[in-house]
Structure 1
Amino acid sequence: MLVGRRWVFVGVAVLLAAVTAAVLTLRSGPSPACAAPPTGNTVHRGKATFYDSGGAGGNCSLVSAPDDHLYVALGPSEYSAGAACGGYLDVTGPKGKVRVLIMDQCPECEPGHLDLSKEAFAKIANPVDGVVSVSYKAATNPTVPGPLSFRIKEGASRYWFAVLVANHGNPLRSVEVRSGSAWRATERADYNYWIYESGLGPGPYTIRVTDVYGQQATATGIKMAPEQVQKTNVRLYGAGAAKPVSKPTPTPARKPSASPSPKATTEAPPSLAPAAAVVDQQLGRAAASC
């Protein structure tokens, strides 16, 4: 019996050592191995080229390119399977600085290689140069075109849920959906839709989004209306953003109306087990340091 216990303790120690090693690897490993979007105040250095999306919204599945045509495609490492989508970068080149929306992936680009729109490139360099050295960093809490909007994917139904979130400004960490009493965590696809494979019923839905800095917003009344952009008055930060509350406030059950209108609500972030929170913080800090 004592031998069995000793092996249990050894196994736990090995597991803890493996977790620690993984975190240290994320912190100290070479940049190409770090699959994470640029965040925080870290300044990166690399090069920029340019391309034209032809008005399309890129691999991030946006309805269209932004009206100002200032956007960027990132290499697979920094695109990070869609984790960078919807964030912004401040890029500095020989002629000046430009702020661009991350909306696309550049499969052949190595870490540090930005493929800017031709309009963005022209603001920082002479287009005849083709390739220029640049520095860049994440734009935290950037100005966005409007409040959060949601688009249910074509083909979605009560049996398969997929939603695109726009105008969040900072990269998103999670999207949770409630239809009824329970919150359900969705999974992000590399084309930037958040998916719940087994479906969430007919709706309407309450959707809670959290960015990589922990800022959170909740929208209600999102309908199962594929291909329609549903605008709200909800913002993640800045004027109009919901203020966090100190304690969870139970929301009374209500019957969905025939034609619900999206509206803002305030709700405390879900509590996490202390150990899980520590691991999440460690991994979050490690990814941010890439």
Structure 2
Amino acid sequence: MASPSHRRSPSKWRDALVPAMVVAAVALAASLLMALRPDAAPTAGHTTTTPTADRSTPPPTTPSPNPTPKPSPSKASPTPTTTMRTSPPPRTTTPPARSSAKATTPQRASGPAPLAGRVRPGTTYDGVATLYDTGNGDGACLYGPTDDVMTAAMNHTDYETAKACGAHILVRAANGASVTVRVTNECPLPCAPGQLDLSAQAFAKLAAPSAGRIPITWSLLSPETSDKISIRYKTGSSIHWCGIQATGHRNPLARLEVRDDTGWRQLPRTEYNYFLSEQGSGCGGAIRITDIYGEALTIDALAIRPDALQPTRVQFAAH
């Protein structure tokens, strides 16, 4: 007898298939519904990442171009560069011209007497006048005894290592009186700048000697004179060492030179108003003297005769 078949009958198979198909259909419908929902999880993942990235990225990107103001400084940088290119003209023209003009102003001011020291022509000095006993008229300038009583001792500061020696000074008092004196001496400290110590005779032309001290003003003169300049060699002078002095000059002396084998040689001036050649260079040779106005006079060679005044035929021009 045949054994029973283990195959399922068609009706049983259909009975089993129908519920399975229903379940499959319900599952398919559910999956379709899920796919069509806008907030479905799988779709949202793709939609959110891409658009959100696209929308959120632009906002941060937009501010960063806005710093394009930074290029404007780099555009402005040509401006400094251009300024640098245009600045040379001011450097080469204007500043040098102005500074050189300023530098020459004092030189022009000293033009009338380029070699003057503290005592300058065209200048009025304030000070006081005192008086002293001049004795025989000799003084620090070592001009020697003199009968000229209209003399003065210049204060130490304005004496300026004998540069004031021989200067002719017009002195005025507050009362209008005036006198002309020649500087032959030095008034040591505490004589103040501007102070003149006058001979008693010169002081008496301004005020009574009993006044003792009066306010004054004074200025340099270049007087009329017919006298000529004289040269004196100092005691002890020889061809090995000599001191030379000029006297009777109208204007203050600025320098004295001697001629030696190498040409003209300027000699240093002492406080006692002699120009020294300590090695004997030029002693007994030609002499050239120059006043504060720059006029130079040449004197032919003179014999070395210590303490003797040797007249010349020259004199400085009046100013």
Check whether TM > 0.5.
Answer: yes
- Name 1:186's counterpart in structure 2: 267
Corresponding position: 1:115 with 2:197: yes
Letter of the structure 1 residue corresponding to residue 290 of structure 2: T
In structure 2, how many angstroms separate the alpha carbons of the residues matched to 1:151 and 1:179? 19
> Residues 129-173 of structure 1: CA distance to partner in whole angstroms, max 9, x if unpaired?
11111110011x223461010110001111112111001121111
Letter of the structure 2 residue corresponding to residue 168 of structure 1: H
* Equivalent of 1:78 in 158, 178, 182: 158
Letter of the structure 2 residue corresponding to residue 155 of structure 1: G
Give 3-state SS (helix, strand or coil) of 1:119's partner: helix
TM-score by length of 1: 0.66
In structure 1, how many angstroms separate the alpha carbons of the residues matched to 2:282 and 2:274? 18
> Residues 106-141 of structure 1: CA distance to partner in whole angstroms, max 9, x if unpaired?
1121101110011111111111111111110011x2
- Name 1:54's counterpart in structure 2: 135
Letter of the structure 2 residue corresponding to residue 151 of structure 1: R
* 1:16-35 map, 5 Å: none
Report the CA distance shift for 1:230/1:191 in structure 2 as closer, same or farther (over 3 A).
same
Kept in 1, the 8 Å contact 2:242–2:283? The answer is: no
* 1:9-158 map, 5 Å: 36-65=117-146, 67-93=147-173, 94=175, 96-108=177-189, 109-139=191-221, 141-144=222-225, 146-158=227-239
Identity of aligned residues (%): 35
In structure 2, how many angstroms separate the alpha carbons of the residues matched to 1:202 and 1:196? 7
Give 3-state SS (helix, strand or coil) of 1:222's partner: coil
Query: What RMSD, in angstroms, separates the aligned Cα atoms of the two structures?
Result: 2.4
- Name 1:206's counterpart in structure 2: 286
Kept in 1, the 8 Å contact 2:250–2:315? The answer is: no
Kept in 1, the 8 Å contact 2:241–2:283? The answer is: no
In structure 2, how many angstroms separate the alpha carbons of the residues matched to 1:182 and 1:221? 14
Corresponding position: 1:230 with 2:292: no
Letter of the structure 1 residue corresponding to residue 244 of structure 2: V
Which is richer in helix? 2
Kept in 1, the 8 Å contact 2:133–2:199? The answer is: yes
In structure 1, how many angstroms separate the alpha carbons of the residues matched to 2:282 and 2:288? 17
Cα distance, 1:201 vs. partner? 5.7
TM-score by length of 2: 0.60
In structure 2, how many angstroms separate the alpha carbons of the residues matched to 1:115 and 1:229? 27
Kept in 2, the 8 Å contact 1:159–1:201? The answer is: no
Report the CA distance shift for 1:201/1:218 in structure 2 as closer, same or farther (over 3 A).
closer
Report the CA distance shift for 1:215/1:202 in structure 2 as closer, same or farther (over 3 A).
closer
State the number of aligned residues: 206
Cα distance, 1:180 vs. partner? 5.2
Cα distance, 1:200 vs. partner? 2.6
Give 3-state SS (helix, strand or coil) of 1:128's partner: helix
- Name 1:196's counterpart in structure 2: 277
Kept in 1, the 8 Å contact 2:137–2:149? The answer is: no
Task: Determine which structure has more spread, i.e. the larger CA radius of gyration.
Answer: 2
Q: 67-76 vs 84-93, which deviates more?
A: 67-76
Moved over 2 A (4+): 200-203
Q: 167-176 vs 185-194, which deviates more?
A: 167-176
Kept in 2, the 8 Å contact 1:147–1:231? The answer is: yes
